[in-house]
Structure 1
Amino acid sequence: MDCIDIYKQPAFNHPALRNHIIQIAPSSVMTMKPEAAITKEKCSMIHTHQLWRKNGSCPIGTIPVRRNCQTDVLDCNLAAKYGRKNRPSIQYELKTSNYLQANHAFAIMMTEGFNYHGAKADIKVWNPYVEHDDEYSTSRIILENGAYNNYECVESGWMVNPSVYGDRETRIYAYWTVDGSSTTGCFDLMCPGFVQTSNEIALGGVIKSIPVPGGLPWIMTLHIVRDPISKNWWLRYQGNISIGYWPAELFKALRSTVEVIQWGGEIYSTRLGHPGHTKTEMGSGDLPLVIQPNSTGWFKRMRIQENSMDLKQPESAYTYSDDHRCYPIYLRKDQYAEPEFYYGGPGKDWHSLLCAY
C-alpha cells in the first residue's frame, strides 16, 4: 500500500472531475437513524481486519492505495481494460436488470422501483475456491439504473479475483460503470472515478476476520447511499466508516435515482453452463440447505432507502438463480423475523448432486 495525498488521488484524472471539489464527509443530513447504526455490542461481534494495517496506517490527509505491479497490467489482454469487468454478451433481457449474461452465474435477491436512494446489508464473508485465474467469485450489493445492455451501476462487496489482484485472497472492493462495462468503470481505484476519503480502509485490501469470544461469524456490513445534497453515492463500511464516494458527475441516470437493487453472489467463468463446468465456489462453497443455512453465503438485514433517510425492508423482492443446479438459493421467511437470503454452492464437484454437468 502507498499513502498518497487525498487531493492527488487517481479520481481527479477523470475529465469530468477536473474541477471537482472533494467532499470530505457525507452531508449532515445523512446522519443515520437508530436502525441504520450498529450498536457498540454489535460492533464487537462484526469485525474484520485488513492485513496492511499490521504495519500501521496512513496519516490524516492521505489515503491508502494498493500498488499495482507492472506485471498486473501486462497480464491483461489490453491495458485499457485493466481492472474492468469483462463485458458479457446478453442472453436475453429480463426487466431492467443486468443479469442473464453469458459467462456469468447469479444467485441474487432483488427489488425494482423508481425511488431508491440507498441499500444496505450484513454479508457473511468467506474465502471461496476459484479454480482458474480468469474467473472470480464475489458477494455484493449492486445499485443500478438504465438499459440492460448500457446500464449505470455502483457496487461493493467482497471478492476473490486472481486476474485483478494476482492471488486468491478475499478482498473488499468497489466497482462502477456507466455503459455496462463496455468502455467505462473499474474496480477500486484502478481508474479515475471513485473518490476515497478514508485513511483506514484500502479498497482491494485483503480482509481477515478477528476472532471475538462469543461473537458472530465473519461479517461485513456495507451501505451505499446517495447524498441528498451533493448527489454523490457514498460507500460506508461496518456502519460508521465512510470509505469514499462515486461523484455525481460520473453519471446521468444515477444522478437522480436507482431502479434496481441486488443482493447476492456472482461467478464469472467461460466454463459455465456446459460440460467442463467450473469448480469455482460461490459463497462458502456449501449448498444453502434449509437445515443448516448459516454454513453458506448469506445476506441479512437487507435494507433500502427511498426519498427519506429511513432504512426499511424492501416491500417487494424476489430471488433468482440462473445456474440453480450449481449455485442454488434459499430465502427464509418467518412471520416473526425478517427475511434472510442464503445462496451459493461448489460449482461442479463430486459431492454436488445438483450440478450435473
Structure 2
Amino acid sequence: MSARIRMVLVIMSLLHLLFSITLVRSDQATLPFTSFKIIGNVTYDCIDIYKQPGLDHPLLKNHTIQMKPSFSKKYERKNQPDNSKAYKEKIKCPYGTVPIMRNTKEFIINAELLSEKYFHPLSGDSPGTHIAGVKQHGGPYHGITAWHDGYNLDIKQDQASYSQMYLGSGYYGEVNFISVGMMINPSIFGDGRLWSYGYWKGKNEKGCYNMACPGFVQVSSMVPMVQPFKFKPGDKEVLQWSITKDQQTGNWWIIQNKPNAFIGYWPKELFHLMDDGANMVGVGGVVQASPSGLSPPMGNGKFPAHGPLRAALFSNVDVLNSKYEKRRINTLPVEELLDSKCYGLRVGKRVKFWTTPLGFFFNYGGPGGISCGV
C-alpha cells in the first residue's frame, strides 16, 4: 500500500471519528474541554461558559453573563461543610467552563413534550395530577427558600412524583413561572432515580425542564442544575433550595446548599410578568397518575402523622418580600392545597424537642392508589 493511500485512509478515519463525536454531542454548543462520568453512566461535559447552550435563546443575544449574584457574600459567610451524598463523586470543571449534562435526543424530545403538561398552581386542573402543599398570593415576592427531603419511590414508567418550590405571576391567561426541586420521572430521565430539576415558563408560554431548551445560564463549575442522587432504600436526601431575584440585575438565581452553590439563573429577559417580582409563591408535593388511573406514592409514601419525621417534610419555608426582607411564609395567610384522599397534609406546630428550629413547616404525602380521583 502506497504512502499516499495510507494517508488518505488515516484522514478518512479521523473524519469518521470527528463525525461520530459530533453526533454523540449534537445537543452541545461546542466540544467539551473535559468530561466527567458519575453515578449511573451520567456524563457531564465541561463547556466554555460563553458557549453553553442556554445562551442560544433568541432573547439572550446581547446578554452579559452574571458570574455571581449581588447578594453572594451573605451566603459565602455560612461556609457550610459539604456532607451531601450527591457530591461524593464531585464534578470539577476547569476555570471558565461549566458542567452540561450530555443529553440524548430522546431526552430532549420527551422533556419538551412533557413540559407542556407541567402542572403548576397558576394553571387550571390537570387530569391525573394531585398536589399537597401550601401557596400564598399577594407580593410582590422576590424569592422563596425551603428545606425539603427526597426519597426512593417505586414510580412506574408513565407516572411522576416530585417535590417543588415555585414562584410565578399570571395575567389574563399568561403565565411566568419558575420551579426547582427533586423529581422521579422515568418518562424524562429514563430511569426511576431521584433527580434534581428546574422548570420555567416565560414569554410566549415558552419554557422547559432543565436545559432541554435554551434559557438557563449555568454558572457553577461544580454543581449542575440537574443531577441524579444515589442513596440506599430507606435513606433520604435533604437539601435547601432558594430561588432569588437579584436586586441589581433582575435575574432569577438558583442557590443550593451542601455545598453553598450559586448554580445559575434564568435571565430577566425571559420573563415579562415578573419585572417587579412574582405574585404567587408555594411549596409542596405533586404526583402524576398513569393513564389507567393508578396514582403513585408522594413524599415518602406515608400519610402525615404526629411528629415531623414520619412523613416527607418541608421546613423553614421563607419568602423575600417587596423590600427583599426574609419573612416566614405564614407571616401572611397561606392557602393549604390538598385534592385527594390518597394523600395528606399536616401543617406543623412549634417542635419543642427539636434542636434546630423548623420555622414554618408541614408534612405531606401518601401511598397513592387506584381510587385517587382525577
| CA-CA distance at 1:52 after TM superposition | 5.6
Map 1:214-233 onto structure 2 (within 5 A).
218-233=237-252
Is the 8 Å Cα contact of residues 139 and 266 (structure 1) preserved in structure 2?
A: yes
CA distance in structure 1 between the partners assigned to 2:231 and 2:172 by the alignment: 36
Unpaired runs of at least 5, structure 2: 1-43
CA distance in structure 2 between the partners assigned to 1:45 and 1:58 by the alignment: 17
| CA-CA distance at 1:18 after TM superposition | 0.8
2:106 equivalent to 1:84: no
2:47 equivalent to 1:12: no
* 1:320–1:301 CA distance, 2 compared to 1 (3 A): same
CA distance in structure 2 between the partners assigned to 1:112 and 1:38 by the alignment: 32
CA distance in structure 2 between the partners assigned to 1:21 and 1:153 by the alignment: 22
2:243 equivalent to 1:200: no
User: Residue type of the partner of 2:48?
Assistant: D
2:150 equivalent to 1:137: no
| CA-CA distance at 1:173 after TM superposition | 0.8
User: Residue type of the partner of 2:310?
Assistant: S
CA distance in structure 2 between the partners assigned to 1:356 and 1:260 by the alignment: 26
| CA-CA distance at 1:38 after TM superposition | 8.7
| CA-CA distance at 1:195 after TM superposition | 0.5
* 1:287–1:24 CA distance, 2 compared to 1 (3 A): same
| CA-CA distance at 1:305 after TM superposition | 0.4
Percent of pairs with identical residues? 29
Is the 8 Å Cα contact of residues 30 and 227 (structure 1) preserved in structure 2?
A: no
Of 137-146 and 62-71, deviating more is: 62-71
Q: In structure 1, what is the equivalent of residue 197 of structure 2?
A: 173
| CA-CA distance at 1:63 after TM superposition | 1.1
Map 1:118-157 onto structure 2 (within 5 A).
118-131=143-156, 133-147=157-171, 149-157=173-181
Is the 8 Å Cα contact of residues 46 and 219 (structure 1) preserved in structure 2?
A: no
Match of 1:322 among 319, 339, 352: 339
Q: In structure 2, what is the equivalent of residue 47 of structure 1?
A: 84
Q: In structure 2, what is the equivalent of residue 286 of structure 1?
A: 302
CA distance in structure 1 between the partners assigned to 2:342 and 2:350 by the alignment: 26
- The CA deviation string for residues 239-287 of structure 1, in whole angstroms up to 9 with x for no partner, is 721000000000011122111111101112354xxxx532411111111
User: Residue type of the partner of 1:302?
Assistant: V
Match of 2:97 among 35, 39, 62: 62
Which of structures 1 and 2 has the larger relative contact order (alpha carbons within 8 angstroms, sep 6+)?
Answer: 1
Is the 8 Å Cα contact of residues 174 and 205 (structure 2) preserved in structure 1?
A: no
2:272 equivalent to 1:252: yes
| CA-CA distance at 1:65 after TM superposition | 1.1
User: Residue type of the partner of 2:67?
Assistant: I
Q: In structure 1, what is the equivalent of residue 319 of structure 2?
A: 304
* 1:191–1:52 CA distance, 2 compared to 1 (3 A): farther
CA distance in structure 2 between the partners assigned to 1:120 and 1:166 by the alignment: 29
TM normalised by structure 1 equals 0.81
Question: Alignment partner of 1:125: what SS?
Answer: strand
User: Residue type of the partner of 2:302?
Assistant: D
* 1:284–1:343 CA distance, 2 compared to 1 (3 A): same
| CA-CA distance at 1:50 after TM superposition | 4.4
Question: Alignment partner of 1:231: what SS?
Answer: coil
Is the 8 Å Cα contact of residues 55 and 61 (structure 2) preserved in structure 1?
A: yes
Is the 8 Å Cα contact of residues 348 and 355 (structure 1) preserved in structure 2?
A: yes
Question: Alignment partner of 2:349: what SS?
Answer: strand
**Which is richer in helix?**
2
User: Residue type of the partner of 2:220?
Assistant: S
Match of 1:265 among 285, 305, 308: 285
* 1:148–1:159 CA distance, 2 compared to 1 (3 A): farther
| CA-CA distance at 1:114 after TM superposition | 2.2
2:369 equivalent to 1:348: yes
* 1:356–1:226 CA distance, 2 compared to 1 (3 A): closer
CA distance in structure 1 between the partners assigned to 2:363 and 2:124 by the alignment: 18
CA distance in structure 1 between the partners assigned to 2:302 and 2:267 by the alignment: 38
Give the total of aligned pairs: 321
Q: In structure 1, what is the equivalent of residue 134 of structure 2?
A: 109
Larger Rg: 2
Is the 8 Å Cα contact of residues 98 and 148 (structure 1) preserved in structure 2?
A: no
CA distance in structure 2 between the partners assigned to 1:117 and 1:167 by the alignment: 34
Q: In structure 2, what is the equivalent of residue 93 of structure 1?
A: none
2:122 equivalent to 1:97: yes
- The CA deviation string for residues 160-181 of structure 1, in whole angstroms up to 9 with x for no partner, is 11111111111111110026xx
Question: Alignment partner of 2:136: what SS?
Answer: strand
| CA-CA distance at 1:57 after TM superposition | 2.3
CA distance in structure 1 between the partners assigned to 2:319 and 2:231 by the alignment: 27
CA distance in structure 2 between the partners assigned to 1:46 and 1:260 by the alignment: 33
* 1:148–1:200 CA distance, 2 compared to 1 (3 A): farther
Question: Alignment partner of 1:200: what SS?
Answer: coil
